[in-house]
Amino acid sequence: MAAHLVRFRLSAVWVLCIALLVSGCVTTKRGGYTDKTDQKKAFETSLQLARNYIAQSNWDQAKRHLQFAESVDDNNPDTLEALALVFQNTGELETAESYYKRAIKQVPDRVRIRNNYAGFLFAQQRYAEAAEQLEVVVEDLLYERRAEAFISLGRCYLQLDKLEKAENAFRRSLLMDNNNGSALLSMAEAVYRLERIAEAQRYYDAYRDKVQRQSAAGLWLGIRLADAFDDEDAFASYALALKNLYPKSEEFLKLKALQENRSQ
């Protein structure tokens, strides 16, 4: 009887040990899965927080969260793009460009990144390179900011003095959104430079109807058109507005040079 009781107790202990081992294995497995899930969630949270800080121009906080995201996945294109934006806005331009290029290499078809990179290149006055990126962007028929990308492309070609290409880009943008004031003004500028003055005036008038207050570029084009049509009242009105609203603009400096030439 005693021997039987001992065997029973030993068997019970053995079963308990097996149960603990199995339970331990399951706990370890679940623990690993949970850690992986938590890390993914932390990554997504950090990336979203970084985007929020970027929207607020809080670059230090954005960078702090992006450093963690990069430590989790240093090839994630969203992280690379966000880091490029941060470094672009804090003046580390070479670093920003390296992140843009890495992001594009990871996802060459994600045109949003190419569009942001084009903006970076345009700001560096690298207009031909910006146009090259934008030519890819506008080929994406489903890109939600395609009309704006055509405007950006046209402005690159204006800077490069490729006026026919600029006109074509602005025309494509207006086909998608004929109420866009920026596209109307840009088209007016392009056809003015192509010496189609009456057509430029029509686009300029349409631009004025769409905006509450003209930009410095808009006023400067209005001044040149008024000069071309010998409309002294319009010339004086636009010149006064440019002086009062944008006295430190490049356009105002051009106006003063024009006024000096007219007075000679």
The whole-angstrom separation of Cα 221 and Cα 87 is: 35
Please report the pLDDT score of residue 46 as a whole number: 87
Looking at residue 205, its pLDDT comes to 98
Residue type, 5: L
pLDDT for the residue 128 = 98
- Tokens matching residue 179: 């109420």
Residue type, 170: F
Sorted by sequence, the CB contacts under 8 Å of residue 168 that are 6+ apart come out as 154
Q: Kindly list the distances between the CA atom of residue 65 and the CA atoms of 49, 50, 68, 96, 141, in Å, as whole numbers in the listed order.
A: 7, 6, 5, 17, 34
- Determine the pLDDT at residue 8: 41
pLDDT of residue 262: 87
Give the pLDDT score at 42: 86
- B/e letters for 185-210, b = 16+ CB within 10 Å, e = fewer, are bbbbbbbbeeeeeeebbebbebbeee
How far, CA to CA in Å, does 146 sit from each of 138, 152, 170, 234? 6, 10, 12, 35
The residue assigned the tokens 């010496």 is 195
Q: What is the mean pLDDT of each run of 10 residues along the chain (264 residues)?
A: 44 38 36 63 89 94 91 91 95 97 96 97 98 98 96 98 98 96 98 98 97 97 98 97 97 96 86
Give the model's pLDDT for residue 14: 36
CB 217 within 8 A of CB 241: no
Task: State how far the Cα of 225 lies from the Cα of 150, in Å rounded to an integer.
Answer: 25
For the record, the structure tokens of 85 come out as 């934006």
Q: Are 115 and 107 in contact (CB under 8 A)?
A: no
- At 44 the pLDDT is 87
Q: How far apart are CA 199 and CA 132, in angstroms?
A: 29
